[in-house]
Chain A
Amino acid sequence: MPGFSFTHLEFLAWAALWTVGLSVIAFVGGGLLGFVVALARVSASRSLRIAAIVYIQLVQGTPLLILLFLIYFGVAIAGFDAVPAIIAAGAGLTVYSSGFLAEIWRGCIQSVPKTQWEAAECLALTRWQRMTRVVLPQALRLATAPTVGFLVQIVKNTSLASVVGFIELSQAGKLINNSIFEPFTIFIVVAVFYFALCFPLSTWSRSLERKLNVSRR
């Protein structure tokens, strides 16, 4: 029986690119959606705030695996053709990320001191101007480190996309194992790939945290 070869490594590297791609989709999609939900979460309108809370709680209270199944099979049941795996996986991860990013960013927005809102309000700025010109620039500074930290979670969680048939790093590892039955070797290599993706991110997050803590708020 042939062992683990360069071809397998190539296959894994190719699959790792899909992991990166899926992570980017999840981060960009989740970021956009999460930003809107975070704004709704701190909005002046009570019904918007409640809607945002319900959304965040639902997303955070549902396992990503189930979210992926719901989207993958839900769309088919709703009468559409089976969705391509990348769409289902991308949508599931987007929803998942948006629920967490919204809550991280809500915290950052609310940790900008209330006196900053007040000062901006007393200068006759509109609510939107207060938010975009005074509060968000300060919240951004606070948000950078935890946001990059959450990126690591996204990268690792893309492994669940294999359940809807999406071939990313983990799924590629399983496929190779099905043909050569060397699970330990294969999954060590897979783990190394994940580590190589995540380690720079978490190092970056930590250094951002240090940098932003010592410089001005």
Chain B
Amino acid sequence: MEQKENTRDKIYNFIIENYLFGDTDTELKDDESLLAKGIVDSTGILELVLYVEKTFNIKVKDEDMIPDNLDSINQIVRYINDSPHR
């Protein structure tokens, strides 16, 4: 449980820091779509993948790079936790 909290905070902070210039005023719910909210644009996903790979020591396969896995904080956390490469 503690691990999950930790991962969630790391992801949340990364999104705030990396896509929102550290702006904590923007309301961001854990289940909100990052694409729909315009936070991740058509090219921004690579930054997220690089971060996830480096921080959590997993390899994100090309076929995993889909919105179903990575489009909200909850989905990203789930993806990381389910990742067999960890």
Whether both chains belong to one complex is answered with no
Q: Which residues of B contact A (CB under 8 A)?
A: none
Residues of A near any B CB (own CB < 8 A): none
